[in-house]
Amino acid sequence: MTDTDSPPAGERVAVLLPLPLAGPYDYLVPPDLDVAAGDVVVVPFGRTTSLGVAWGKAEGAVDAAKLKPIAGKVDCPPLPEESRRFVDRIADYTVSPPGAVVRMCLSVSAALEPPAPRVAYRRGPVTPERLTPARRRVLDLAGEGPVRSIADLAEGAGVGTGVVRGLIEAGALAAVMLPAYDAPAMPDWQRAGPNLNEDQAAAAAVLRGAVEAGNFATQVLEGVTGAGKTEVYFEAIAACLAAGRQALVMLPEIALSAQWLSRFEVRFGARPLEWHSDLKPGERRRNWRQIASGEAHVVVGARSALFLPYPKLGLIVVDEEHDGSYKQDDGIRYQARDMAVLRGSIGGFPVILSSATPSLETRANVERGRYTRVVLANRHGSAVLPRMRAIDMRRDGPSRGHWLSPILTAAVQETLGRKEQALLFLNRRGYAPLTLCGACGHRLQCPNCSTWLVEHRLAGRLRCHHCGYEARLPNECPACGAEGRLKPCGPGIERLVEEATTLFPEARIAAFASDLLAGPKQAQAMVEKVLAGEVDLLIGTQILAKGHHFPMLTLVGVVDADLGLGGGDLRAAERTYQLLSQVAGRAGRAEHKGQVMLQTHMPEAPVLQALVSGDVESFLESELEARAMAGMPPYGRLAALIVSGHDLERVMETARTLARSAPQGPDVEVWGPAAAPLSMLRGRHRQRFLMKAGRGARVSDLLRSWVGGVKVRGDTRIEIDVDPYSFL
């Protein structure tokens, strides 16, 4: 069945329900209904009804007499064929029920019903005999300019809505039906962009060419921060709009994207549509419909924007493609960057992966010739990359209980003295990551998780960063009862603010962390204060690392460069390199030269050596080599199974069953079961398996047959994580 030919009445059709079922269910098409693949329908399901999407021809295995008819069709744009294939492929790859994936496409159920049209009024045929001055003002207003709503007429004429309603009753105002929403403005792709430098122009030509060719291709746009990658991929968007197709730009930290949005508006004279979790319900509904109808031209969003039902997508840009937040780590565990490439291959259009520090996965794909690399070698204009130096905290550290070394402190003082801005970076929220009893050594732990509670002093709370548990900081130790002996250990950014306030009493300090900012609006207000020069010293977590361009910022101090290196995670060094490069990129973005200081207890670590010497190429090469030797991604494949549940015995039993049926083969290794590093999360015990396989292995099939036969009891769950990024 295709989009155009609908089955004759009485025929059956497979309908995919947005539920975690094994696959689509068959239904009968009633005689009075025309159902084509992709149509959103309502079907009886159990004792109630459910939404569903007509998925294609039914298998026909079930006796027709047992099938129920489709109850009706929903008046919304159908789910395009490309989206349906995308759903099937993601479900297959991630070993998830397709219904759970299609639920992400239909995530805004309110948007499925057509919105009510708006009613506006113009001057009607009748002129009432008795015309008060108030009535006259309303009629004068209605006689000129655009049609207006009752509220607008009342406000414009300075009268109550009763006056307007009276005129409607009298026939002096006539109703006009308007579409529910104004169509989004068309970004003006013909508008001239900035004059690109030679490198940029060459890169833009390659990307434009790929869009114009209209074939699937993956382009890696690589260039240091400030090289102009955004300006360059804007050219590809212009080409996509010129071809009459939709473009999607994915950003990792959409809440802090205001600067990006205003740059887009400057370039194209219109705003793109946004898609992220901070939208109000009405905005979500409108944006979903306008994307599904094809009226939206450019969409900027978080990873969930991939699942929207674009009817004519022609380009995806994944900005900061290396960013870890592209990996979704609960529910359906997918890597949005990789799925964007898949979406491009299904839709037959190019995908641009932009980054200053491409992931090793992406580098390997360039080596294999699957992706094309497009390089911007230098920063735009006179800006140069900042110098980096390591501060050896073993030798040059501060006294106990302090976190800023004398060298960094002096550098901050000098910078502020020159009326320039400095940034202290510490990727840790709260005041202290650990609270310890000085009398008995007890550590305050989350009751639901195997983690320490983090003190948030400004909020006066202890918090678990994993499950959201909160409590007041007690005065007595819960273990030994000693009073006033609980003490904070280690710094979070609140504690750093405290130290900086003592060290730099004159400085105007601003703290940036997700829990300290009430939302995107407040974050943007803070960014504007920095731009206006109303802040001298910025102290923040990784939300400050991304995307911002602060011309007066010339010093970046990384308070603990070792923070990401512990734990022995596969990507620890790579991630440290990416994060620190990104933070460093905040310094000296304009004509002022920048410097970066990395406080570390292990200056000999290869990643720190690489950053300081600037020879990142050989660092990345040796990382890749080590991964190749070990058969690790991107040269081998990993998948994790996480067995969890409230009942430890049942969890262990399931883990043992899985262990007995673990896949075997020359190309496959399975480790586990072993207690997860987070052995308890939200009250659930957790056991992990890790499977390593060769690149050619059919990982999803192996997992499906491994897990498929295993029955779980009670609330025990087996979660599958293909290509895991977290090993907790």
Residues that bind ligand ADP (CB under 6 A): 194-197, 200, 223, 225-231, 380, 549
- Residue 664 DSSP SS3: coil
| Binding-site member from 446, 559, 643, 720 for Zn ion (CB under 5 A) | 446
The owner of tokens 């995107």 is: 520
Binds Zn ion by CB under 5 A, chosen from 16, 341, 464, 639:
464
Q: What Cα–Cα distance (Å) separates residue 226 from each residue in 378, 384, 586?
A: 8, 9, 9
N- to C-terminal Cα separation, the chain: 45
Report the distance separating Cα 638 and Cα 724, nearest Å.
Answer: 7
How far apart are CB 36 and ligand ADP at their closest, in Å? 42
Closer residue to ligand ADP in complex, CB, 197/726: 197
Q: CA-CA distance, 685 to 472, in Å (whole number)?
A: 26
Nearer to ligand ADP, 549 or 717 (CB): 549
Least CB distance from residue 381 to ligand ADP, whole Å?
7
Return the amino acid letter for 526: M
For 396, half-sphere exposure in the C-beta direction (CA atoms, 13 angstrom radius) is 17
Task: With residue 236 as reference, give the H or E element that holds it.
Answer: helix 229-242
Which amino acid makes up residue 245?
R
- Rule CB under 5 A: which of 108-127 touch Zn ion? none
Q: How far is the CB of 188 from ligand ADP (least distance, A)?
A: 18
> Is 358 within 8 Å of 365 (Cβ atoms)?
no
227 binds, among Zn ion, ligand ADP, none (CB under 5 to 8 A by kind): ligand ADP
| Tokens 């970066």 -> residue | 596
Q: Residue 194's binding partner, choosing from Zn ion, ligand ADP, none, with beta-carbon cut-off 5 to 8 A by kind? A: ligand ADP
471/503 with CB nearer Zn ion: 471
CB of 448 to Zn ion, least distance (A): 4
Q: Which stretch binds Zn ion (CB under 5 A): 310-318, 320-328, 460-468, 485-493?
A: 460-468
From the list Zn ion, ligand ADP, none, pick the one residue 464 interacts with, judged by a Cβ distance below 5 to 8 Å according to partner type.
Answer: Zn ion
What is the distance between the alpha carbons of residues 645 and 286, in angstroms, rounded to a whole number?
Answer: 39
Q: 723 to each of 99, 337, 534, 675, how far by Cα in Å?
A: 21, 12, 44, 20
Give the one residue of 442, 466, 593, 695 binding Zn ion; rule: CB under 5 A.
466
Of 71, 467, 590, 624, which lies in the binding site for Zn ion, with binding defined by CB under 5 A?
A: 467
352 binds Zn ion (CB under 5 A): no
In whole angstroms, the minimum distance from the beta carbon of 538 to ligand ADP comes to 18
Rounded to whole angstroms, the maximal C-alpha distance in the chain is 95
Which residue from 25, 45, 233, 469 is in contact with Zn ion, where contact means CB under 5 A? Answer: 469
List the one residue out of 237, 418, 419 whose CA is nearest residue 315.
237
CB of 119 to ligand ADP, least distance (A): 44
CB nearer ligand ADP, residue 225 or residue 541: 225
Position among 250, 449, 611, 658 found at the interface with Zn ion (CB under 5 A): 449
617 CB-near residues (< 8 Å, 6+ apart): none
Q: 397 vs 433, which CB is nearer to Zn ion?
A: 433
Sequence-separated (6 or more) residues with CB below 8 Å from residue 700: 92, 93, 94, 95, 722
In angstroms, give the least distance from the CB of 672 to ligand ADP: 41
Tokens of 446: 């989350």
* Residue 680 contacts Zn ion per CB under 5 A: no
Judged by CB under 5 A, which stretch of 91-99, 123-131, 137-145, 446-454 contacts Zn ion?
A: 446-454
Interface with Zn ion includes 728 (CB under 5 A)?
no
When the beta carbons of 221 and 299 are compared against ligand ADP, the nearer one is: 221
Torsion, Cα 317 319 323 324, to 10 degrees, reads: -40
Q: How far apart are CA 345 and CA 355, in angstroms?
A: 21
In the bound state with ligand ADP, the residue whose beta carbon lies nearer, of 231 and 494, is: 231
The SS3 call for residue 238 is: helix
> 498: buried, middle or exposed (CB in 10 Å: 19+, 13-18, 0-12)?
middle
Rounded to a whole number of angstroms, the minimum distance from the CB of residue 423 to ligand ADP is 16
| DSSP-derived pairing of the beta strands 217-223 and 350-355 | parallel
User: Any contact of residue 291 with Zn ion (CB under 5 A)?
Assistant: no
Choose the one of ligand ADP, Zn ion, none that binds residue 197, judging by a C-beta under 5 to 8 angstroms depending on kind.
ligand ADP
Tell how strand 12-16 and strand 48-57 pair up. Answer: antiparallel
**Cβ-based nearer residue to ligand ADP, 195 or 399:** 195
Q: Least distance (Å) from ligand ADP to the CB of residue 549?
A: 5
By CB under 5 A, name the binding residues for Zn ion.
446, 448-449, 464, 466-467, 469
